[in-house]
Amino acid sequence: MNYESKLQLARNKNGNKWEDKILLMSSSKWENCDLTLDDLETTKTWNCDLVNHEDKIFLELTTSVKDAKEAKSIIESKVHKHHYPDYKFVMGIKKISKKGKRLDGLNSHIDHLNQTSTIDQVLIGEEEVLKFMRKPFYNKQVTINNKKQGVTMKSNILI
């Protein structure tokens, strides 16, 4: 791979160390994903970090999520679901980034991943990721706060 900066090289190295650690601590059902999938619109190719073929799950691991990783993960999940519609796509995030926090203390990037129909589960923290890898569970709850669900009309007056 060609890296643009020393910082990017360090990020990749730290991410790979964490992925290797998770794989070593997981059950034997999980393996490095060697699949390379073609993007739906461009010449880009995608490959997920880990796969469990027995339970039909792709697992994308990342140390944190900000704008670029959020967008990449959403596209990657759509590509994987297109090519493998019977597999689940799960995100494992080591820690929540301080950037992207809303006034209520939650993280907008995590909210967006949870709202994405092609992402079946978002796991936060090493403990939750490993718990899922030992025994997969799904409790995705999509909540969209402060968004109107529709407009009520009464006597031609907008309420």
The predicted-structure confidence for 91-137, as pLDDT tens digits, reads as follows 999 988 766 566 555 688 888 999 999 999 999 999 999 999 998 88
Q: For residue 53, is pLDDT > 50?
A: yes
DSSP string, the chain: ---SSHHHHHHHHHHHHHHHHHHHHS-TT-EE----EE-SSSS-EE--SEEETTTTEEEEEES---HHHHHHHHHHHHHHHHH-TTSEEEEEESS--STTB-TTS-BHHHHHHHH-TT--EEEESHHHHHHHHHS---------TT------EETTEE-
- Percent with pLDDT over 70 in the chain: 72
- Domain extent at residue 93: 6-158
User: Structurally, how many domains does the chain consist of?
Assistant: 1
* Residue 1 resides in a domain: no
* Residue 43 resides in a domain: yes
* Residue 140 resides in a domain: yes
* Residue 125 resides in a domain: yes
Distance between CA 86 and CA 94 in Å, rounded? 26
Higher pLDDT, 38 or 7: 38
* Residue 148 resides in a domain: yes
Q: What is the mean pLDDT of residues 42-69?
A: 92
* Residue 135 resides in a domain: yes
* Residue 130 resides in a domain: yes
Q: For residue 154, is pLDDT > 60?
A: no
Is residue 2 very low, low, confident or very high in pLDDT (cuts 50, 70, 90)? low
Does this model's pTM top 0.85? My answer is no
Is residue 60 very low, low, confident or very high in pLDDT (cuts 50, 70, 90)? very high
**Closest-CA residue to 22 (of 82, 78, 102, 93):** 93
Q: What is the mean pLDDT of residues 8-14?
A: 61
* Residue 95 resides in a domain: yes
